[in-house]
Structure 1
Amino acid sequence: MKSIEILTDRMRLRLIELSDLNAIHQLHTLPETDEFNALGIPKNSDETKRTIEPWIAENKRDSIKNYTFAIENRLDNTVLGLFGLKLGNEKYKRGEVWYKIHSDYWNKGYATEALKAVIQFGFENLKLHRIEAGCAVENIGSFKVLEKSGMQREGRLRQVLPLKSGWSDNFEYAILETDDRPTI
């Protein structure tokens, strides 16, 4: 497996492994982290395993198109979330990010710190031109993270997210390599 790490003061983002299954399953089964997520709560760890096995396989490819990182606390190696970076057609030099943070770590700056680091990785290491993200319009915590990380709201897609509560509109965000970025 490739050894790709993104380090911040408090966290290490590294490609997920099967040994992360229990931490990822716990994260996916939290109702509060599922509220604005279309994945749904898995019935058991086997379902979570079937979800992450393609992510792990993708991380092993020579040319990764969908990075899936475990976010670890550098003090104790606790997995506190997941972060994804999906690359689009190479011609357009575009990527899309997503993240899911364990609710024990909400409102402590971890998501913002991780997003800033992934944005830097995307522009500096992968030579992307544009990084995009979306979030449900009612997911105030998530769009605050996107905005604190320098992303700009560009629009609103109507009823695009199939959530448990029904179809949700989605705010679309992006940042360009030429935009000013907050420091990590």
Structure 2
Amino acid sequence: MLLNEVDLLIPSNFEKKTDRLIIRFYNADDFELWKKTHKQLPKARNKWDIKPDPNFKWTRQAFKKMLQQEQRNRDAERYYFIALDRSSGQPIGHAVLFDIRRKIFQSGGLGYGIYNHSWGQGYGRELVEAMLEVAFKTLKLHRIEAAIEGKNRRSINLAKSVGMIREGIRRGFVYMNGEWKSLTIFSLLAEDFNVSFKFPPKAPEPAGKSGKR
């Protein structure tokens, strides 16, 4: 299909359902969900686990600022998704599509995290597969990559389970915890996901210029 007329921005009311998950953005009605999710995070079980921030003030004002920042991020094609269990409505984790490059690249990064009370139930694979579908079918990207610390076996196994290919090590790639970290790169192409389209797709115009959301 030809993509020149397609607006590739994801709208704020986006919602994707899988067998067990609802995947969407935070909205103005989610203050209590946001506050409860982050204040009641279980104790971290390894150094890559999602950790609570005991010093952050989980106020309505902070929530409003977060929503405004997330909208600016989406206008710049950086998408943070929350994942909720469809039966209970409880949060099980999150995912992010970021560093999206258009023009001759059509690529982006994928990040993901599952709260440890939901580990071992297949939620991670279900969430990541849904994000790959969004990346390739909604955003029309050609390449997605995940950058993972070499000792994070749980994340590496998840990347492999959805078909991502290990490419190698990117040396001194990110600065974390006071030092430069080398990360292992895993990638997947649209063709690997059985998606194809004519190149190039039309890159979304910045919000305010096109007037679209």
More strand by share: 1
Q: Does the CA-based 8 Å contact 1:6-1:118 persist in structure 2?
A: no
After superposition, the Cα gap between the structure-2 partners of 1:113 and 1:52, relative to the gap in structure 1 and judged at 3 Å, is: farther
1:42 aligned to 27, 47, 53, which one? 53
Paired position in structure 2 for 1:114: 127
More helix by share: 1
Rounded to whole Å, the distance in 2 between the matches of 1:48 and 1:160 is 34
The answer for unaligned runs of 5 or more in structure 2 is 1-10, 195-213
Paired position in structure 2 for 1:7: 17
Verify: 1:56 aligned to 2:67, yes or no. yes
Q: Does the CA-based 8 Å contact 2:172-2:180 persist in structure 1?
A: yes
1:77 aligned to 89, 93, 96, which one? 89
After superposition, the Cα gap between the structure-2 partners of 1:163 and 1:32, relative to the gap in structure 1 and judged at 3 Å, is: farther
One-letter amino acid of the counterpart of residue 134, structure 2: F
Verify: 1:24 aligned to 2:38, yes or no. yes
Q: CA deviation at 1:151?
A: 0.8
Higher relative contact order structure (alpha carbons within 8 Å, sequence separation ≥ 6): 2
Rounded to whole Å, the distance in 2 between the matches of 1:49 and 1:32 is 29
One-letter amino acid of the counterpart of residue 56, structure 1: L
- TM-score with structure 1 length normalisation? 0.80
Q: Please list, as runs of the form range in 1=range in 2, the aligned pairs for 1:140-151 lying within 5 A after superposition.
A: 140-151=153-164
After superposition, the Cα gap between the structure-2 partners of 1:67 and 1:141, relative to the gap in structure 1 and judged at 3 Å, is: same
149-158 or 116-125: bigger deviation = 149-158
Q: CA deviation at 1:21?
A: 2.9
Q: Does the CA-based 8 Å contact 1:137-1:168 persist in structure 2?
A: no
CA RMSD of aligned residues (A): 3.1
Query: Runs in 1 of length 4+ with deviation above 6 angstroms?
Result: 47-54
The answer for unaligned runs of 5 or more in structure 1 is none
Q: Does the CA-based 8 Å contact 2:38-2:52 persist in structure 1?
A: no
Identity across matched positions, percent: 25
Rounded to whole Å, the distance in 1 between the matches of 2:108 and 2:39 is 26
Q: CA deviation at 1:143?
A: 0.6
SS for the counterpart of 1:46 is: coil
After superposition, the Cα gap between the structure-2 partners of 1:45 and 1:137, relative to the gap in structure 1 and judged at 3 Å, is: same
Paired position in structure 1 for 2:206: none
